[in-house]
Amino acid sequence: MRAVIDTNVVAGAMLTSGVNRKVLRACLTGSVKPLIGTALFLEYEDLVRRPGVFARSPMTAHDRLEVLASLASVGEWVEVYYSWRPNLRDEGDNHLVELAVAGSASAIVTNNVKDLRSGELHFPSIRVVTPAELLKEL
Q: Give, for all 138 residues of the chain, the pLDDT tens digit.
A: 999 999 999 999 999 889 999 999 999 999 999 999 999 999 999 998 888 888 888 888 899 999 999 999 999 999 998 776 656 566 667 889 899 999 999 999 999 887 777 766 778 889 999 999 999 999
CB contact set of 43 (below 8 Å; sequence gap of 6+): 7, 95
Q: Where are the domains of the chain?
A: 2-137
Q: Provide the whole-model pTM.
A: 0.91
Q: Where are the beta strands (DSSP E) in the chain?
A: 2-5, 33-36, 76-77, 107-109, 127-129
Residue type at position 129: V
Cβ–Cβ under 8 Å, residues 27 and 133: no
Q: Which fold has domain 2-137?
A: Rossmann fold (3.40.50)
